[in-house]
Amino acid sequence: MPSKIDPSTLKITDVRFADIDGAPKRCTLIKVYTNQGLIGYGEVRDASSRTYAAMLKSRILGENPCNVEKIFRRIKQFGGHSRQAGGVCGIEVALWDLAGKAWGVPVWQLLGGKFRDAVRIYCDTDSEGGGRDMGRALKERMAQGFTYLKMDLGIELLMDQPGCLSAPLGFLETMRHYKKTVFSTPHGSIDPRAMRGEAYELFSTAHPFTGIHLTEQGLDFLEAYMADVRAEIGYEIPLAIDHLGHIPLEDCIKLARRLEKFNLAWMEDPVPWPMTEQYVRLAQSTTTPIGTGEDIYLKENFLPLLKSGGIAVIHPDVLSAGGILETKRIGDLAEDHGVAMAIHMAESPVACMAAVHVAAATRNFTALEVHSVDVPWWEDLVTGLPKPLIKDGYIAVPNAPGLGIEALNEALILEKCHPQFPEPWASTEAWDGEWANDRQWS
């Protein structure tokens, strides 16, 4: 870091990108350069496009990055729900990193201080086989020090179980084919360009409209699977479930009722998040806690769900919710409505540390997701953080300026570059002069 920084005259001079493959998915790292040698690190959310960030370059060049809120209000109109927010959020994270470095304080201090010195981590866990196998895999997580757990429980477990699913004839056969091809790509990444016909419909059709239903035999299978998991890990440790599949509300109600006895932390994304009334019906039909939020952009779009009483846990992702400050505001808004906040995170250590600062500064935070526990080189992408980064199920909140990251590991980034973008930090000069009248009124 340069020895003498004048925050009042700091200016943005460039924005560049590097795409990493397999951390655990594809992610785009961002560098925002300044006129005084400071560099801020950000990230575009997994499976999003760097174009969402590149198009913002001309709108922030020459601005003082310490004016995070001013710049965010200018660019937030170019974000959208889920991966469409990747550019706005990634730039916002880099601005906070720069502001912290310029003023010599960690991001959590700029957010008003911290409620905790260490952030609880949970990690998704995969396992082949039955519920006992999943339970043993989760028990290994507990042995590693994790105090919060998460697993998948849904229709994918039923694909090869006769009589467990009802769907339009031929649909399940198509899905089994794509499960062996598209779904078996490294780290579970899904390229929609490789999907055709009814398989694509599963990802482009909202849950109530797919025609997929759980049979009583399927419900019996999932209940027995969960019973086997709990038999291995016990009932004291929190356990959340995700990836139910695109099934309608009525089936979610049936499943949630079957699972009440297993003391779940939450059931995640059972129906599409905009369907507020369906969340209300589900919450009023079961005592299983319901959570959602990783695809929602901006705090005002969380408000209908929070006011409705349809969720017990919100689950934003810093790289889709609007960035660091917006996620902090979402957590505060949830607290006002008696709702806990967990944080979704399936990206590199840059996004992880952004989430750590939010978690430290938000009172109703419960646990932060890390998808990369089984990626051996993941934490080596950055320098300046303790190793191991996750110790006894927690990440220590850093006191270093900005995000707490000293530098990126350029050699490793070059080694792990995505084949579509083999040259990290290539010139983005083509985006320097883009202009449009971005006003939202006349």
Segment 170-179, tens digit of pLDDT? 888 877 776 6
- Band the pLDDT of 82: cuts 50, 70, 90: confident
Give tens-digit pLDDT for 348-363.
Answer: 999 999 999 999 999 9
The predicted structure's pLDDT at residue 48: 84
Confidence label for 439 from pLDDT (cuts 50, 70 and 90) = confident
**Structural domains in the chain plus CATH codes:** 7-105+408-431 (3.30.390.10), 118-396 (3.20.20.120)
Read off the pLDDT band of 186 (50, 70, 90).
very low
pLDDT at 24: 79
Q: Which residue has the higher pLDDT, 141 or 435?
A: 141
pLDDT over 70 at 289, yes or no:
yes
- In this prediction, residue 200 carries a pLDDT of 59
Where residue 23 falls among pLDDT bands split at 50, 70, 90? confident
Average the pLDDT over 363-392 and give the result: 96
Q: Tell me which range, 81-90, 170-179, 199-208, 229-238, is most confidently predicted by mean pLDDT.
A: 229-238
Weakest mean pLDDT among 95-104, 158-167, 177-186, 208-217: 177-186
pLDDT for position 436: 81
Q: What percentage of residues in the chain have a pLDDT greater than 70?
A: 93
Is pLDDT larger for residue 329 or for residue 186? 329
Longest pairwise C-alpha distance within the chain = 69
Taking 90 as the threshold, does the pLDDT of residue 154 lie above it?
yes
Percentage of the residues of the chain whose pLDDT score is greater than 90: 82
Q: Is the pLDDT higher at 173 or at 89?
A: 89
The pLDDT value given to residue 25: 83
User: pTM for the full model?
Assistant: 0.94
Residue-level pLDDT at 116? 98
Please state, rounded to an integer, the average pLDDT across all residues of the chain: 93
pLDDT at residue 431 above 90? Answer: yes
pLDDT attached to residue 1: 65
What is the reported pLDDT for 187? Answer: 39
pLDDT score recorded for residue 184? 46
